[in-house]
Structure 1
Amino acid sequence: MTHTYNITGMTCTGCLAKVQGLLQQVPNIEKVDISLAEGTADITMKKHVSTADLQQALATYPKYQLSEAEPHHHAMSINDDTENRTWLQTYKPILLIFGYLLAASLIAGYSSAFNIMTMMRVFMSGFFLVFSFFKLLDIGGFADSYSMYDVVAKRWRGWGYIYVFVELGLGLAFALNIAPVAVNTIMVIVMTISLIGVLQSVFNKRQIRCACLGAVFNLPMSTVTIIEDGLMILMGVVMLGLM
């Protein structure tokens, strides 16, 4: 059975992720679809869960208030906008970023006789600088979204804040070519830990947002996220092998 509720207090996708995570922890809840624009939630249950129990799940965050919607009201799923878009439209932001990074890497390679180490270093520097930039636009929202699936952030939300600056530091270190062995080792470890949470979410078919571009874009968790993290790990391993 699916019931619709009104939820107030949500101001960003980070809030959405937090509310969704709290409600999904309630026993007998199968799925929570939230529309940030409408301030509503469609909650699918194995068996009926009282409104009081749902409200209790949000009690630790009093700014979020849940109430029953009118019976005839229909809320749009948080995934409606992505389901109505093509694959290309959904992943356009990431594809554009990777296109720019690839172009920058080729330009850098052209000026260095296409040295593979230089090209990968430029790509990885741009990757971490760009992705940390989008996360910094709403670091709180990113931390909330990241805590939905990352194996470390789920246990300690503060890791979401630290992770942003780890990415920023890696981007600067790659740009300046500082301690390449140490930097690549740290990067491989950090990205591998991140990939574990991504794999768990994708294989369990959890309908959550990918936090790779922070809370700015509505990107679903998918195999694209696996490829993104896997590519960075592979490049780091290759660079370590060539040193």
Structure 2
Amino acid sequence: MKHTYKVTGMTCGNCKASVEKALNNIEHVTSASVDLEKAEVEVKMSQHISIEKLQEELPEKFSILEIEKQQRNVFSTVANKEEKTDLQKLKPLFIIFAYIIIASILLHYKNWNWSDFMLDFMGLFYIVFSFFKILDLKGFPESFKMYDPLAKVFPAYAKIYPFIEIVLGLMFLMRFQIFTALIVTIIVLGITTIGVIKTLLNKQEIQCACLGTVLKLPMTKATFIENTIMIIMAIIMLYKTYN
């Protein structure tokens, strides 16, 4: 017999391997295969195994739920709790954004200049966000590939992406080759934003890799907004500088 379950808590390839290993070690399970993008696992078993038994054998960070049961509870209080949890998980993102904005303002509050403010904001944005990605260079590519179109086609791109952000950050802060940095920003974040929009439209529940995998942030409209802000700033700077 074959059953499909929803599994929450999976963020990368290591999580996938951990879930498959735990379920395959259960007696009477003939095979367990995880679909990371759908956050689902297909379990084939020689005889029925209760959902409680499956949950018991999984590491604590993962939760397993029958698809049918999850659908029945979509509009239940459980769904409301998950929504609140998602908002709470975005708190680190809002705090980091606030710090970057405040730091950029303080750098120029005596001699205010919008262009310098935006360049420093973009530079600090890249440096800070790349820091969190570098904290887990193994897990980040797996999470990033789940929604970035270019990373899906060229996995090596996901591996070097944090370093691309570092270089762009330094270019903005040092005022080096600004035109090139602006163009690359529009292209790189434009591609990522396409993937974010597709994920949001498909209502996929996956982790956002904007702050790496250390901070568990859900993919939400906030991810779209942060990318859009950077793209708009880059376009404005191109217009002001070269027109």
Q: 3-state DSSP class of the match of 2:52?
A: coil
AA matched with 1:97: I
Q: Does 1:73 align with 2:53?
A: yes
SS of equivalent to 2:107: helix
Which residue of structure 1 lines up, in the alignment, with residue 22 of structure 2? none
Unaligned 5+ residue runs, structure 2? Answer: 20-32, 56-62, 66-77
Give the SS at the match of 2:39. Answer: strand
Could you say which residue in structure 1 is the equivalent of 2:39?
32
- Give yes or no for contact 2:141–2:159 (8 Å, CA) kept in 1: yes
Residue 18 of structure 1: CA displacement? Answer: 7.5
Confirm whether residue 23 of structure 1 aligns to residue 34 of structure 2: yes
Q: Is the 8 A contact 2:104 2:120 kept in 1?
A: yes
- The structure that has the greater radius of gyration is 2
Judged with a 3 Å threshold, the aligned counterparts in structure 2 of structure 1 residues 3 and 14 are, in CA distance, closer, same or farther, namely closer
* 2:107 aligned with 1:108: yes
Q: 3-state DSSP class of the match of 2:34?
A: helix
- Bigger drift between 155-164 and 169-178 goes to 155-164
Instruction: State the TM-score, normalized to the length of structure 2.
Output: 0.73
Which string of whole-angstrom CA distances, capped at 9 and with x for unpartnered residues, describes residues 34-91 of structure 1?
A: xxxxxxxxx4x7xxx6369xxxxxxxxxxxxxxx96543364259x898164554221
Contact 1:191 1:233 in 2 (8 A): yes
- Contact conserved, 1:150 with 1:198, CA < 8 A, in 2? yes
- Equivalents in 2 of 1:4, 1:240: separation in Å? 46
More helix by share: 2
Are residue 242 (structure 1) and residue 240 (structure 2) matched? yes
Q: CA deviation at 1:16?
A: 2.5
Q: Cα gap change, 1:2/1:14 in structure 2, threshold over 3 Å: closer, same or farther?
A: closer
Residues 84 and 199 (structure 1), Cα distance of their counterparts in 2 relative to 1, 3 Å cut: closer
SS at match of 1:187: helix
Is residue 2:190 matched to residue 1:183? Answer: no
Q: Distance in 1 between matches of 2:6 and 2:230?
A: 41
**What's the Cα RMSD here?**
3.1
TM-score using structure 1 length: 0.73
For residues 87-143 of structure 1, the C-alpha deviation after alignment (integer angstroms, 9 at most, x for no partner) is: 54221111111110110111122132x100111111111100000000000011000
Structure-1 residue corresponding to 2:72: none
Identity among equivalent positions (%) equals: 36
Q: Which of residues 30, 44, 49 in structure 2 aligns to 1:50?
A: 44
Note the residue ranges of structure 1 that are not aligned, 5 or more in a row.
Answer: 34-42, 53-67
Hey, which bits of structure 1, 4+ residues long, moved more than 3 A?
A: 1-5, 17-20, 68-71, 84-88
- For 1:180, give the aligned amino acid: I
Give the superposition deviation at 1:186: 1.1
Say if 2:88 is the partner of 1:89. yes
